[in-house]
Chain A
Amino acid sequence: MAPLPNEHLRYPRRRHGMDHDRYDWSIMQRRPRVEWPNGAHVAVWIVAPLTWYPLTLGPQPRPPTGVFDDPWPNFRDYTHRDYGNRVGAFRVMEVLDRFGIRPTTPTNAAVCERYPELVQEAVRHGWEIAGHGIDMGHQHDARLDEATEVTMVATALMTLRKATGQAVTGWLSPANAESLSTPDLLTANGVHYSCDWVNDELPYAMRTRHGPLWAMPYSHDINDASMIWHGHHSPLEFVDQVRSEFDWLHAESRQQGGRIFTLCVHAWCIGQPHRIHALERILEHVRNHSGTWTATGAEILAQYQQQVDQS
């Protein structure tokens, strides 16, 4: 075997802070305290994506949770994901309504085109629609040339804005996959915050060519698809872990200042009849605690920015 090239022992970005310039190194626990409206110390943020997994979805560099790779045409998995759009989402909507919760909903542009009634219902219920790419088969990653990615970002956002009448200022890339330019393209298209970087539990500003892009603390593990689908945990084990997350944040935020409890649920997963009770149990647990404020991503970010500006 050829010896390892010497670049493997060179470390050009070995310096204080990060090894890139996208954002600054910062320890969450050393930042100024934040408070949420009415003295709340835990912001509750539900993220409920609406997705379309095309039948032609092949192997992806970053498999989105729920990806399928059996030979075409895979009726089983295609229809199982599509169950979320026909049935599951309405079950989730009924539960969230009962608890008075409006989620942030990263929505594939394809869902707007294919299932306009679903998107209209979500809008009517006050859900915050966020960008989520074209569909789960269109990933934003370094294989794309920039012109293609520019079109993908612009098309996805334009479709959502037209269909919903909302400003659509949030974004989650399918499978959190980004090219090195994605944050720049997002701010160029009027996006204020992205959920792709999971390195923090409070919002922080990233640098882009067109001003700051805020990273919002999406949760890739307080997430039904990660824990139940990929992790093979039962709904009750899921409930147990999510409650544990909430309890820790609830106690910690009393001492250390406001925190964000993010829960991500997918209509095709939690929206199954035998699992929906998990969402009800979690929301009951949250409702039994004082000091919470339930809001959308855009609302949480606005509150956070206001306080950062004042301090």
Chain B
Amino acid sequence: MLADDLRYYDYLPITKRPPLTWPNGARIAVWFAPNVEFYELIPPVNPARAAWPPPLPDVLGYSWRDYGNRVGFWRLLEVMDRFRLRGSAALNVAVCQHHPEIIAAMQERGWEFFSHGIYNGRYVYGMDEAQERALIEDAIVTVERHTGHRLKGWLSPALTNTERTPHLLAEYGITYSCDFMHDDQPFPLNVRAGRLISIPYTVEINDAAAYIRRLFSPQHFCEAIKAQFDRLYAEGGRVMCIALHPYLTGRPYRLLALIEGLEHITSRQGVWFATGAEIADWYYTHYYNGMIALLASRRSGQV
């Protein structure tokens, strides 16, 4: 029988937590997660989910994604540069081999790299433990070899998981996961050994969700960015993630919406523009132990 809940996190309403602040008293941490991806023309078909509708090739689907690397990424980079913003790349690590030019451009700008699997159409569904370990080891070794960075973050390829993924990530020293959409703050995950936290990623302020699933206009997405920011900023002690895909946001007609959103966000005081790893590190340094203690006492019924 499949579990109806994997119990990776405790319930603690956001109103019952100690206040959280960011470096220099910033009210909000904002991070950008461009998904830098490589889709294969003819990937093996995972029995649980096909990367492309059959029969292969899917020329429209494949070439649309490829546009992100040939054209869109470079426009997005220009816009991020204009605002002096760093991204944290959710990286299909095979981009290191296929397009090292893209890796170099991100590295020159001090971006962070976190793992988004090997290829976007290689799903984790159905992997046994040895296979999943091989995947994680591949990602760690590839990123280290091509960038010199120790891999700290994880967003499963196409957000596909097994029931054991977070346990394995913690074992390999990954410090944060982006596969949890349940919160506006980082939060400890219950892993069998080591430690792992979720940090807020988003399927809301995410151009793929907005443009492909919800059929937003760019103006609608721009309004969503601003409204999300305004509310989280007013509440304080929150994280805002903006998840982007070069093949979508790198289109000429959508860039203005992003620029307007960025103008709005960068015009406020008290905003900490961070990478995913910086947010995770800050949380571990200042809040993790306290939260673990609080959760332990709640579990033992002392609170």
Question: What is A's interface to B at a CB cutoff of 8 Å?
Answer: 1-9, 11, 13-20, 25-29, 61-62, 141-143, 173, 175-180, 196-201, 220-222, 230-233, 237, 240-242, 244-245, 247-249, 252
B131 and A245 within 8 A (CB) = no
Question: Which residues of B94-130 have CB atoms within 8 Å of chain A's CB atoms?
Answer: 94, 97-101, 118-119, 122, 125-128
A61 with B54: in contact, given A7-B44, A231-B215, A241-B253 (CB under 8 Å)? yes
When the two chains form the complex, which single residue of B59, B63, B98, B215 contacts A16, counting CB atoms closer than 8 Å?
A: B98
B251 and A245 within 8 A (CB) = yes
C-alpha gap A200/B135 in the complex (Å): 31
C-alpha gap A141/B61 in the complex (Å): 14
Question: Interface code B251-262, partner A: CB below 8 Å = 1, 0 otherwise?
Answer: 111111000000
Task: Tell me which residues across on chain B come within 8 A of A8, comparing CB atoms.
Answer: 44, 46, 122, 127, 131
Question: Interface code B119-152, partner A: CB below 8 Å = 1, 0 otherwise?
Answer: 1001001111001001100100000000000000
Task: Tell me which residues across on chain B come within 8 A of A6, comparing CB atoms.
Answer: 131
Q: Of the 9-residue stretches B24-32, B65-73, B282-290, which lies at the interface with chain A? A: B65-73
B252 and A245 within 8 A (CB) = yes
Task: Tell me which residues across on chain A come within 8 A of B56, comparing CB atoms.
Answer: 142
When the two chains form the complex, which single residue of A1, A221, A231, A232 contacts B126, counting CB atoms closer than 8 Å?
A: A1
Interface assignment of B217: CB less than 8 Å from any CB of chain A: yes
When the two chains form the complex, which single residue of A198, A237, A249 contacts B252, counting CB atoms closer than 8 Å?
A: A249
Number of residue pairs spanning A and B whose beta carbons lie under 8 angstroms apart: 139
B60 and A29 within 8 A (CB) = no
C-alpha gap A180/B47 in the complex (Å): 23
Task: Tell me which residues across on chain A come within 8 A of B125, comparing CB atoms.
Answer: 4
Task: Tell me which residues across on chain A come within 8 A of B64, comparing CB atoms.
Answer: 198-199, 220
A3 and B253 within 8 A (CB) = no
A27 and B74 within 8 A (CB) = yes
B253 and A196 within 8 A (CB) = no
When the two chains form the complex, which single residue of B46, B59, B67, B256 contacts A4, counting CB atoms closer than 8 Å?
A: B46
Interface assignment of B85: CB less than 8 Å from any CB of chain A: no
List the 7 shortest-distance A-B pairs measured between CB atoms, nearest first.
Answer: A248-B252, A245-B253, A142-B55, A199-B66, A199-B63, A176-B60, A197-B63
A225 nearest CB across to chain B (Å) = 13
A206 nearest CB across to chain B (Å) = 11
B98 and A220 within 8 A (CB) = no
When the two chains form the complex, which single residue of B47, B74, B119 contacts A29, counting CB atoms closer than 8 Å?
A: B74
When the two chains form the complex, which single residue of B60, B128, B253, B255 contacts A177, counting CB atoms closer than 8 Å?
A: B60
Q: Which residue of A lies closest to B53 (CB)?
A: A61
A3 with B131: in contact, given A199-B70, A220-B64, A242-B253 (CB under 8 Å)? yes
A244 and B256 within 8 A (CB) = yes
Interface assignment of B58: CB less than 8 Å from any CB of chain A: yes
Question: Which residues of B246-283 have CB atoms within 8 Å of chain A's CB atoms?
Answer: 251-256
A62 and B57 within 8 A (CB) = no
A27-B101, A220-B64 are known contacts; what are 11 more A-B pairs with Cβ within 8 Å? A3-B128, A4-B126, A7-B44, A9-B131, A14-B98, A19-B38, A61-B55, A178-B59, A179-B57, A199-B70, A221-B253
Interface assignment of B40: CB less than 8 Å from any CB of chain A: yes
A198 and B126 within 8 A (CB) = no
Interface assignment of B236: CB less than 8 Å from any CB of chain A: no
Interface assignment of B218: CB less than 8 Å from any CB of chain A: yes
